[in-house]
Each structure stands twice: as C-alpha cells, then as structure tokens.
Structure 1
Amino acid sequence: MKDYLCEDTIAAISTPLSKGAIGIVRISGKKALEILKKVFRTKSGKPKETFENRKMTYGIIVDENNDEIDEVLAVYMKGPKTFTGEDVVEIHSHGGIYVVRKILKRVLSEGARLAEPGEFTKRAFLNGRIDLVQAEAINEIINAESELSLKVAVNHLKGSLSSKIESIRDMLFHLKAFIEAAVDFPEEEIEIIETGKVKEKVEKATEKIEKLLETYDDGRIIREGIKIAIAGRPNVGKSSLLNALLKEERAIVTDIPGTTRDVIEEAVTLKGIPVRLIDTAGIREAKDVVEKIGIDKTKEKLKEADIILFVIDGSTGFTEEDKKIYETLKDNPNLIVVINKKDQGLKVSCKDFENTCVEISAKEGEGIEVLSEVVMKKLLLEPETLFKETEAMITSERHKNLLEKALKSLQNMKKSIEYGIESPEFLALDLDEALNALGEIVGKKGIEDMLDIIFSTFCIGK
C-alpha cells in the first residue's frame, strides 16, 4: 500500500468557496510541477522554469491567451515528503469566488482532474503518510464543534489511538508466531501452547480492548454531542429556556400558546460538551393539521433524545395538561423536570416530583448554570476529567464495531482453551479474525471496499 501512486494528477479548491482574503487551489500528482509551469508567469510576464522546493514564489496566473487572471503566491513541494506523498503545488490567490474557480479551471485545462471528496487525504493514506485512524481524524478536526472534540481529534491525528491498536496487534502477532510454530511442529504442540502462555496473552489483549470500548459512550458524546429535547405543554417557557441556554434569542417568545409549531434545533456548548438543543412544539390536542405535524415530530424527537427537559410553568401550578404529559415521560431515566418562571412565584416545587428537578427563571437566567450541571451529572459526565490527552478514546462507531468483533473472536479463543480445545489450527482461526478486525481499524487489512465510503464524507480539496 505504501508503494501506491496514482497515475493522474488531481486538483481542487482547498479553501471555502466564498469571498475571503485568500483562496487556495491545490494540485497533487506527477504532473503538478509541469502544470504550474504552464499556468504561472513572473510579474513581468515571463515563464518560470525552476521552482525552489517549499519556497513561495510571487507571480501571476495566466489564461490560455497569456492574459493575467490574478496575482498569486505559488509553492511547489516535492514528494514524497508532502501531505499526499506526491508532488504537491498550492496556488494562493485573492479569495473571490470567480477568480479561484477560474484558476482551478485553468489548472484542469492543463491535464489535472478534479479531485473527489477527501481524495487528497485518501492519497496520503494510500501512500503510507498516515493510517486510516489519522485520516478520519482530519475530518473530525474539520467538523469539531467544541474544544473537547477538537482535542480528541488532534489526539487521534497524533496517533494515540493508532498506537494502542498497534500494541494489541503486536501482542497478537507474537501469539500467532507461537501457534504457527505448533502447526509446523505438531509433535511439540502441547509444550509450545503452554510455553507461549496463550490464555494469559489472550486475556491481556482482551482487557486492553475492553478498556478501549469503555471509552466509547463518552467518546460518542464528545464527537456527536448530547441531544437535549425541551418538552411541555404550550406557553410554559420552552423557547425562553432555549434562548437562555443559547445565551441569545433564536426562538420566538410570545404569550400565545402554540407559537412554536415546528421543531427548532440549535447547537450550543455546555461545560465543553457539544449539545444539540431541540425546542419542540407544545404537546396538546392539535387544533389543525400543521400543529399535528409539529406534535408528531416532537414525539419522534423525544424518543431520540439523550436528555428530556420537561418544562412546567411553576407560576400557574401543575395543570391537568401537565399531568398527562408527565405520565408519558416520568419513567424515562433521563428525564429532568424544569419548573420555570421562578421570578413570578411558584405554586409547585421540586419536592412534588420523584424525578430529578431544577427550579429556574428562563427569563432572568436564574438556575441555568445549575441546570447545565444537573444535565452533566445525569449522563455521568465530568467534563474536567472526561478526556486526558495521554489516553486514547473511541469516538467512531466503525472503530467500536471492529473492536467488538475482535473482542468476540478472542473470547471464543479463550473459551476453546478452557474447554480443552487446544488444536492450534482452531485457535489460529479466531486469532486471525481478531487480527483482521484490528487491522481494519488502522487500514491494514480488508479496507478496500470501505475507502470510498469513509472519504466521501470529506470536503472536496481535503
């Protein structure tokens, strides 16, 4: 895989396609330098035959008629010590949408192909510059929505998770050597199995995998965030609570019941954790088709939520309508009762509920910080200790599934030994399955069919 080298040269715009100070067109492949020489001129309009490796050169990009498109800074980076492992060129122009597109079009006219989403990173992986975990980490960095998710992604890019996976693979490869020796020298089978301490090694590898899997629940939350649904009857202050948590006014707040007819979703960070706040339509008997659709969506979102904030207007008390809704939610372990409008005087208190409960004033912002802390405790999250940069963490469902597959194979192997089935051929089958699953995580086994799926989630130009 390290010897892989694409025959064609690719190009794409690597900066956001919008107005800005700078726009970058990136080229990678064997013809990168050749293409640069064709489209680049010095400021005086003369062709430039030599470009110093990794040094910015000032000049202009010209069209097919040698008319100037834009003033640029161009840099040539000779492979294999580049991001993709190939020759790479970057053209830095002014950041207008039209001018950057025109430069890209000019580059494509000289023999480059438009890159597919994530193709630059895919080439970096295929050329052995990074492993598959690190390639995925680049996309995680781009999509990070909080300080914590960024730290985890950077940690993955540095190779913290890869090194953990590789250490387990090394352990199993050593074990495989003992087992293959037993196959090659059958008369020494029992002695080799005992000498190699197969069971102990399997148990040690199993413990390491289980420890990694234990990080997934927290890792998923760091990467994807928490889904918090705000529910309740109309006009109890759900939208006011949403605005208080966002610390800005996004939802319409009026005294008219049923103002929120659709589901409103907003992103916010609580205690460093990314959160998806879902302000739902008030739950009641719908008065028209539009409101019924909104209420149906509310019920769907409540099923998906990690936390449900059931909001009550404490100034009017616990109404019959509140009770009907509460009866459908009270058995949910992640329900938090939020008694709102504390500033107006409360006719109901947290003492009246067995569920976790917080008294607030969304309008005045009172109790919002306490509510944030209660949400963290409800999910058993401690943001201060959730992630340590020295430790690896599983955030990807793909990694989780493959670790579980490897774990199951090792558990089967251990059971075989305990049942007295010590045939090295049988043990080798389970061991190979575990090694293959771990190899898939870092991209060293059976990943050809997955590459297009994984890299299709990247942006073009990365």
Structure 2
Amino acid sequence: MEKSPPDTIAAIATAPGRGGVGIVRLSGSALGALASQLNGGVLPQPRLATFRAFRDTRQGLIDEGLLLYFPAPHSFTGEDVIELHGHGGPVVMKLLLDHCLSLGARLAEPGEFTRRAFLNNKMDLAQAEAVADLIEASTEAAARSAVRSLSGAFSKAVHSIQSQLITLRMLVEATLDFPEEEIDFLESARAIPRMNAICAELNDVLDRAQQGALMRHGLHVVLVGQPNVGKSSLLNQLAGHERAIVTDVAGTTRDALKETVQIAGIPLHIIDTAGLRDTADIVERIGIERAWKEIHDADVILRLVDARSGLSAEDCAIDTALPAQTPRITVNNKCDLANQPARLTEHNGATTLHLSAKTGDGVDLLRQQLLKIAGWHPHSEDVFLARTRHLNALELALKHIHTALSQDQALELMAEELRLSHEALGQITGEFTADDLLGEIFSRFCIGK
C-alpha cells in the first residue's frame, strides 16, 4: 500500500458560500516552520487557539482570526496540521488559501486529508468512508449510523470475525503440520461448530449492513398510470406539500418530477411520470419516453388505476409492458369517490391497495407496504451504513465459509477457504485493498476532507 506523501497540502475545509466562520486546513510533515510564519515568527503552542492577524507579504492584512497547530501524530491526519479560522466569506477564504499556497503548500485533492489519515493508521477504510457518509447523510437515522461506523462499530464487528477466522486457520494448519499427532485439533477445538457460529455472526453483520445500505441509498419509487389517475396528487400527499401541479386536464404532467421523502429514516425517491397513452403531442411524447426510462430504473412501481372504473384495456396493456422483475403495487386511487374503504389485499403474490390521494386515507398503508418491499425491519441503532462494496465483501466471506464447511475431509482446501474469507473481510477495513480502489473511494470526497 502507498505511503502518505511528504508534501504539504492545503484546502478550505468549510462548505462553499458565506458563513460566520471559515476554515483553511493544512497538513504535512514538519510544519513547524510554516506555522511560525503564519504566527508572526513564533511557533504556536500545540492545540491552543491563538488569536492572530493573518497577513501576506504583498497586500498586508487579510483577516483576523484563530490559528490552531496540531503536531504529529496527534492530529486528524497523523501529520502536522494547521487550521486557520477566519471570517467565512468566500473572498477571505480564497485569500487565506492563496497565502498558504504561496508559502509552499499545494492544493489538496478531493478526500486527501482523510486519505492521509487512513495511510497513517488514524482510521481504517470503513471509518474513512463513514466520514463521507456522515457529510452526505440525508436522514437523521443515516447520520447516526454513519457516526457509529466512524467510531469503529462496523470495523469492530468485522475484526471480531477476522479474529475467529485466524484462530480457525491456526487449528487447521496445525493439523496439517502435525498429522502424526493423535490429537485431532479440529475435533478437539470444535472447528465445525465454530464455523457455523461464524456464519451466523456474518449473516447478522450482513443483515445490518443491508439495512444500512437501504438507509444510505433509499428506494426509487415510480408512479405509473394513464393520465388523470392521480399520480401527481399521490406525489403531493407523500411529499406533504404541493410538489406537482394537479388539474382535471389530462396530460398536465409532461416531465418526470422527483421528490425525496423519509419513511422510518429511509429516503424514498418518489418519481411522478407523464401519463402513459398514445398522443400526437410531441412534448407529451418526450415526457412519456422519459417515463419509461424511469420505469426501467425503478426499485418499486406504483401502478395507479382509477378505482371508479377499474382496469381498462389500456391499463392491461400498460401492465403487460411493465418490467416483470420489478416489485409492483397496484394502487386503486380515488376510493373516496368510489365509496370504497381504504384497504390492502394480497392475492397470488399481487398486492392491491385502495386509497385516496386527495384525502390521504390509506396512504399510511402504502408507506408500510413500501418499507416491507424494501426489506426494512426495525433495528435499534445498530445498523451499519454500508456501501455496495461492503455487502459484496461480506457475501464473499460468507461464501468461502460455506465452502470451507463442505471441505471437512480436505484440510488444505478448508485452510485456503478460511484464508480467502479473512482476506475478503480485510477489503472492508482496507487491509487488502488495491491502491486504484483507494483512489476511486477518496476521489468522491469533497476537497478539504
């Protein structure tokens, strides 16, 4: 794995825009001299906020604020770190950053501060990714889960399983190294029950990671149906405000409208599409083409029908054209006008929901059904805000354990499967991760983190 480079990096660490306070952060090896230059020729006291007038050599006074100096290794990156806290205007921040660059620092790449923290063993890869997840969290539940991963909860669960795998590998390899011994290491150590226990623990971690991935990515829900069946009204009801224009004129919605709502901490990306029908209107036809694209990208399809008329031949044609593999709920809307109660029915695997998007009657049933389709079940706060690569690694580790269990008479193969399982888990924390993957991960961070 690469080492942390020796040069000094600098970037604005606070969000773009105007604010009361802005921060310029620097990190590198042996920043004492640079800290002295920024502090009027005196080395600042470590970890103590010092009031300073920030000046450059050409224009004079830039700003007044606080300077903080964190000598290595007791800093976020594990290197010397300097922070300049000034007034949070974009011009002031740029002037402070330019001054730091003139003193020999270079502009940091996206995620480079966190990458250096990882390379200097201040955090593992799962914790580093949690930094970005915390910044990007769209719900309170996602933020709390990201903090758990940042504090090391996810990594601790992974390391616990790795530790058990190391013990098992030791037992298997001892049996291979001393075949003449009368003691069967595997049997005496209850290796098979241990592997079964590891499988159970892996399944539990995988389940919590899958729940966290759902919390992170959410669910894309597409509203589909003929014109004027109430798709826009349902979008507004789920959003809690008037997001879409609602009229009695068929074809009012021409383009896909997107709104993200939260249900039990899960972000639902609701997409209202143009009514599906044959039309000569070129603008409406473009909207219908875009609707079909959204339909094919959907996680769940809400198929709306007017409860007063039921399924028509046109509705049946739409049903036939919808992707069969995508979960679907048939929503009989306007049940209030049809004098029907709100209810949910399931028959032969098909789900039908009667509701009124106008009054909201039955919409809570829809929310519950969407969570059910998503596979969400209430955990406490022990989910891991996982990424796809984490899920893939956990599934791979589990696969190798299952294969090892089937090799109880072939110890060499069992030992290899245990090694591969351990290595798969190491991809999560960064123990066995290629440098190009690290570059991909950290390039998605914002500059200054």
CA RMSD of superposed structures (Å): 2.8
Match of 1:149 in 2: 142
Q: Which of 212, 216, 234 is equivalent to 1:241?
A: 234
Q: Which of 388, 403, 421 is equivalent to 2:394?
A: 403
Q: Is the 8 A contact 2:308 2:338 kept in 1?
A: yes
Once residues 155 and 342 of structure 2 are traced to their aligned partners in structure 1, the CA distance between those partners, rounded to angstroms, is: 51
Q: Which amino acid aligns with 2:380?
A: K
Q: How much does 1:67 deviate?
A: 0.7
Match of 1:455 in 2: 442
The question of 1:119 aligning with 2:106 is answered no
Q: Is the 8 A contact 1:253 1:259 kept in 2?
A: yes
Once residues 118 and 357 of structure 1 are traced to their aligned partners in structure 2, the CA distance between those partners, rounded to angstroms, is: 47
Match of 1:61 in 2: 54
Match of 1:374 in 2: 369
Q: How much does 1:197 deviate?
A: 3.5
Q: Is the 8 A contact 1:318 1:348 kept in 2?
A: no
Aligned to 1:431, what secondary structure does the other structure show?
Answer: helix
Aligned to 1:145, what secondary structure does the other structure show?
Answer: coil
Q: Which of 376, 380, 388 is equivalent to 2:380?
A: 388
CA deviation profile, 1:250-304 (whole Å, cap 9, x unmatched): 2222333222222222211123211101111111113244433322322232233
Change (3 A) 1:302 1:116: same
Q: Which amino acid aligns with 2:402?
A: Q
Runs of 4+ aligned residues of structure 1 deviating over 6 Å after TM superposition are 330-333, 347-353
Deviates more, 1:262-271 or 1:249-258: 249-258
Match of 1:421 in 2: 410
Q: How much does 1:342 deviate?
A: 4.5
CA deviation profile, 1:199-239 (whole Å, cap 9, x unmatched): 33322222222222233443321111111111111122211
Once residues 392 and 373 of structure 2 are traced to their aligned partners in structure 1, the CA distance between those partners, rounded to angstroms, is: 26
Change (3 A) 1:379 1:410: closer
Once residues 16 and 81 of structure 1 are traced to their aligned partners in structure 2, the CA distance between those partners, rounded to angstroms, is: 25
Q: Is the 8 A contact 2:25 2:84 kept in 1?
A: yes
Change (3 A) 1:344 1:287: same
Give the total of aligned pairs: 447
Once residues 140 and 316 of structure 1 are traced to their aligned partners in structure 2, the CA distance between those partners, rounded to angstroms, is: 46
Once residues 94 and 214 of structure 1 are traced to their aligned partners in structure 2, the CA distance between those partners, rounded to angstroms, is: 45
Q: Which of 414, 422, 426 is equivalent to 1:435?
A: 422
Q: Is the 8 A contact 2:215 2:385 kept in 1?
A: no
Q: How much does 1:336 deviate?
A: 2.3
Q: Is the 8 A contact 1:329 1:335 kept in 2?
A: no
Change (3 A) 1:340 1:141: same
Aligned to 1:27, what secondary structure does the other structure show?
Answer: strand
Aligned to 2:10, what secondary structure does the other structure show?
Answer: strand
CA deviation profile, 1:325-384 (whole Å, cap 9, x unmatched): 2454596773223333355455898799954333433334443334323322444534xx
Q: How much does 1:317 deviate?
A: 5.4
CA deviation profile, 1:380-432 (whole Å, cap 9, x unmatched): 534xx2x323x454622111111222222222222121xx223xx43332222
Once residues 179 and 410 of structure 2 are traced to their aligned partners in structure 1, the CA distance between those partners, rounded to angstroms, is: 15
Seq. identity, %: 40
Unaligned residue ranges in structure 1 (runs of 5+): 41-46
Q: How much does 1:27 deviate?
A: 0.7
Q: Which amino acid aligns with 1:421?
A: A
CA deviation profile, 1:82-128 (whole Å, cap 9, x unmatched): 11111111111111112111211111111111111111111111111
Deviates more, 1:181-190 or 1:248-257: 181-190
Q: How much does 1:321 deviate?
A: 3.0
Match of 1:201 in 2: 194
Matches within 5 A, 1:218-233: 218-233=211-226
Aligned to 1:214, what secondary structure does the other structure show?
Answer: helix
Matches within 5 A, 1:38-437: 38-40=37-39, 47-65=40-58, 67-188=60-181, 191-314=184-307, 318-328=311-321, 334-342=327-335, 344-346=337-339, 355-382=350-377, 385=378, 387-389=379-381, 391-393=382-384, 395-417=386-408, 420-422=409-411, 425-437=412-424
Q: Which amino acid aligns with 1:413?
A: A
Q: Which amino acid aligns with 1:167?
A: S
Once residues 178 and 33 of structure 2 are traced to their aligned partners in structure 1, the CA distance between those partners, rounded to angstroms, is: 58
Q: Is the 8 A contact 1:227 1:306 kept in 2?
A: yes
Aligned to 2:353, what secondary structure does the other structure show?
Answer: strand
Once residues 61 and 55 of structure 1 are traced to their aligned partners in structure 2, the CA distance between those partners, rounded to angstroms, is: 17
Unaligned residue ranges in structure 2 (runs of 5+): none
Q: Is the 8 A contact 2:26 2:82 kept in 1?
A: yes
The question of 1:29 aligning with 2:28 is answered yes
